[in-house]
Amino acid sequence: MTPPNRNPRHRTPRQHPPARGGNPTRRAALALLSAVLDRHRPLEEALDALPPSDPRDRAAAHRIAAAVLRRLGSLDAVLEPLLRREPPPEVRQALRIGAAELLLLATPPHAAVASCVDLVPRPFAGLVNAVLRKVATDGPQALEELDGERLDTPGWLWTAWHKSYGPAVRAIARAHRQPAPLDLSLKPGTALPEGAVLLPTGTARLPAGTRITELPVFAEGNAWAQDAAAALPARLLAARPGEAVADLCAAPGGKTAQLAAAGARVVAVERDPLRILRLRENLARLGLDASVVQGDATTWDPGTRFDAILLDAPCSATGTMRRHPDVPFLKRPTDVPTLARLQQPLLAHAASLLAPGGRLVFATCSLQAEEGEAQAAAAPAGLRPDPIRPEEVPGLEAAITPEGWLRTRPDLWAEQGGMDGFFIARFRAG
């Protein structure tokens, strides 16, 4: 998948009269796509930067932008035969929005076409109108004939996943094309929210598109958003009441909340001051207590040792593409070895903070073997493997590797809505 700003036909556009305005939802969607594809800003950051607007308009704009990002290769392949030359970036984004609404989101053709025509400068209104009308009539068949899994997955990721997972690469790519459900972690004793399904590992799952802020369980401070796979590292650490536990690289705080809710004495370590603010806000909303420390997890030393440590290391986040479809446009192949080189010293330092016999869980939300299996295989000599047992991960027994590690993938639990790609390994000191 070629990023739009690297299209060899792209030229700096001439100045044209401004667009006529357009529907606020589509304007916001265009702003989001421009931020991700042209300026390489994270989608959530771009969403936060939008001017104040109705929450439903923002949610709808996010839905449209996410649909475009998930299926960008396929949408461009449908549009390509209908364009004689590369349009300016804002026109290209408007065409993508229109194509996504017509082919993926079931928007009535007249509404999709008219709203996108209003997004572009006047000289391009006729082009957008003609192209999208053609998409409305011929696009469904054209989309059906494409190899969407390949087109919607960057080549470097497809190659890496095929090497690691073989034919399952197609199922992984297929899972990335669907919106993820809303997963919740609940405080102990909290009743299952209305309409939720309880997954075998204890996560509450609600349908994709559910607005978490409208759930009573969220407003009451009894739940937080956390993918089913993301909840597993803390579950497998199995913190006990009163234990001294460190959560390294802790923001935004979902795993810290799990450990604190289990009754552990938690120290949450985070380097980024802005992310610390979010961590504190999340803990305050939940009414959970943890000692939050700003520090570099590769060097931080409190002068004491811990019964258990959770290290969810910084990584390429390629396992989270179901929820973050901007990831393929923000990451490059060179990012993976760079991040892998940072993970090994983090793991080594975390091991040095363990008390004798203490437990350590290492995790990454990446599908790349360099950031998971390779790191566990090169664990410091002071750590001995503590294999994950089938009864600890009900329903995911097949995800346990021969080494006793856990490798989740987006195509697992496909009928229930999938899960993020995570690697998890557990060790003991000594």
Please tell me whether residues 225 and 128 are part of one structural domain: no
Q: Is 251 annotated as a binding residue?
A: yes
Distance of alpha carbon 412 from alpha carbon 420, whole angstroms: 9
Residues 295 and 403 in one domain: yes
Q: Does the residue 2 lie in any domain?
A: no
Residue 268 and residue 415 in one domain: yes
- Residue 157 domain-assigned (yes or no): no
Q: Residue 331, annotated ligand binder? A: no
> Which domain does 218 fall in, by range?
182-429
DSSP string, 376-423: HHT--TTEEE-PPPGGGSTT-GGGB-TTS-EEE-TTTTGGGT----EE
Question: Is 253 marked as a binding-site residue?
Answer: yes
Question: Letter for the amino acid at 130?
Answer: A
Total-model pTM: 0.92
* Whether residues 190 and 331 fall in one domain: yes
Q: 363-411: per-residue pLDDT in tens? A: 999 999 999 999 999 999 999 999 999 999 999 999 999 999 999 999 9
Are 81 and 205 part of one and the same domain? Answer: no
**Residue 252, marked binder:** yes
Q: What is the pLDDT of residues 286-337, one digit of tens each?
A: 999 999 999 999 999 999 999 999 999 999 999 999 999 999 999 999 999 9
Could you give the number of structural domains in the chain? 2
Long-range contact pairs involving 209-212 (C-beta distance under 8 Å, separation at least 24): 209/63, 209/179, 209/182, 210/181, 210/182, 211/59, 212/182, 212/184
Q: Are residues 87 and 194 in the same domain?
A: no
Q: Are residues 130 and 253 in the same domain?
A: no
Residue matched to tokens 């795993």: 255
| pLDDT string in tens for the chain (430-residue length) | 434 444 434 444 444 444 456 689 999 999 999 999 999 999 999 999 998 888 888 999 999 999 999 999 999 999 999 999 999 999 999 999 999 999 999 999 999 999 999 999 999 999 999 999 999 999 999 999 999 999 999 999 999 999 999 999 999 999 999 999 999 999 999 999 999 999 999 999 999 999 999 999 999 999 999 999 999 999 999 999 999 999 999 999 999 999 999 999 999 999 999 999 999 999 999 999 999 999 999 999 999 999 999 999 999 999 999 999 999 999 999 999 999 999 999 999 999 999 999 999 999 999 999 999 999 999 999 999 999 999 999 999 999 999 999 999 999 999 999 999 999 999 999 8
- Is 249 within any annotated ligand binding site? yes
| 214 in the same domain as 74 | no
| Residue 270, annotated as binding a ligand | yes
Same domain, residue pair 241 and 376: yes
Question: Catalytic site residues?
Answer: 365
* DSSP structural state of residue 81: G
CATH classification at residue 346: 3.40.50.150
Q: Which helix (H) or strand (E) holds 319?
A: none
134 and 212 assigned to the same domain: no
Q: Residue 252: is the preceding peptide bond cis (ω within 30°)?
A: yes
pLDDT (0 to 100) of residue 21: 60
Q: Which of these, 422, 419, 424, 421, lies nearest to 200 by C-alpha position?
A: 419
Residue 54 marked in a binding site: no
Residues 75 and 202 in one domain: no
